[in-house]
Amino acid sequence: TTVPAVIGTTGPGSIWFAVGTVVMGVAALYFAVRGRRVETPRARGVHVVAALVPAVACGAYLAMALGVGVAEVAVRGGTLRLHWARYADWLFTTPLLLIGLGLFVGAERETLFGAVAADVFMIVTGVAATLSGVPAYRYVWWGISTVAFLCVLYFVVVALGQEARDRDAATWSTFASLRVLIGASWTAYPVWWLVGTGVGLVSPSVEAFGFTLLDTVAKVGFGLLVLHSPALAGSETPD
Ligand code: RET
C-alpha cells in the first residue's frame, strides 16, 4: 500500500500559528488601550477597526495552533491539509481594513460598499480555489479571485485616492503611505498562495511563516501607520 503524500499539515507550521496568536493578541491590546481616551468619532472609528482586526486574527491563529478548522482535500494524488480558519479571518479582517481606511479618509459610503463587495467575493472565490480538488479548477478560481482583487486595488489606489486628495495635507500623506503598504502587502497574498497552496514550491511551515509575516505587515502595520497619523493628533481627551 502506498501512503498518500501529505502536502500540507498542522504540525510543521504550528510554531508560526503560536507566534501569530501572540503578535496579534499584543497588537489588539495595544491598539485598544491606545484608543481608550480618543474623542472624535473619526479617531474612535479608526481605533476600533485597528484593534478589531488583530483581535479577530488572534482568534483565528489560536484556532490554527490548536488544530481547529483543518480541512483535508484530495488533490494531486495526495492530501492537502488546509486551514480554513485563515480564510474565516480574511473574510472579516479584509473588509474591516477597507472600512478603517474609508473611515480615515472620510470616503463616500457607495465607494466603500463597492470595495467591500469585491473584497468578500475575492475571499469566497479564494476559498473555492483552496478547497477545489481538481488542479485546473484551483487555478480558474484563483484567476477569478485575482480579478476581484484588482477591483479592490482599483478602489484603494484610484477611487479612494481621488477622495483623499481633497482632504487636508496630513490625511493625504498618511493615505499615500497606507496605499503603498496595502498595495504591496495585499498583492503578495495571491502570489504566496500560488507558491505555497497552489504549486506547493515551499514546505507547509514556510508557507505558514509567509502568511504570518504578511498578516503582521497588513494588519499591525496598518494599525501603527494609521493611528500615528498626524491627521488624528489632538483627538485625545487631555489629562
Ligand atoms: C487568495 C487566493 C486566491 C487569489 C487571491 C487571494 C487574495 C488574498 C488576499 C488576502 C489579503 C489578506 C489580508 C489579511 C490581513 O489582514 C485568497 C490568497 C487574490 C488579498 C490583507
- Tens-digit pLDDT profile for residues 14-47: 899 999 999 999 999 999 999 998 989 999 999 9
User: Which residues have CB under 6 Å of ligand 1?
Assistant: 90, 93-94, 97, 122-123, 126, 129, 142, 145-146, 149, 186, 189-190, 193, 215, 218-219
The three three-digit cell numbers of residue 55, written as one number: 483581535
- Tens-digit pLDDT profile for residues 58-81: 999 999 998 887 888 888 778 888
Share of the chain above pLDDT 90, in %: 75
Question: Global pTM?
Answer: 0.93
For residue 171, is pLDDT > 80? yes
Average pLDDT, the chain: 91
| 32-42: burial string, b at 16+ Cβ within 10 Å, e else | bebbeebeeeb
Residues 6+ apart with CB under 8 A from 184: none
Stretch among 25-34, 74-83, 92-101, 185-194 having the lowest mean pLDDT: 74-83
Q: Whose CA is nearest to atom 18 of ligand 1?
A: 190
Is the interface score ipTM higher than 0.95?
A: yes
Cβ neighbours of 24 (radius 10 Å): 27
d(CA 190, ligand 1 centre) in Å? 6
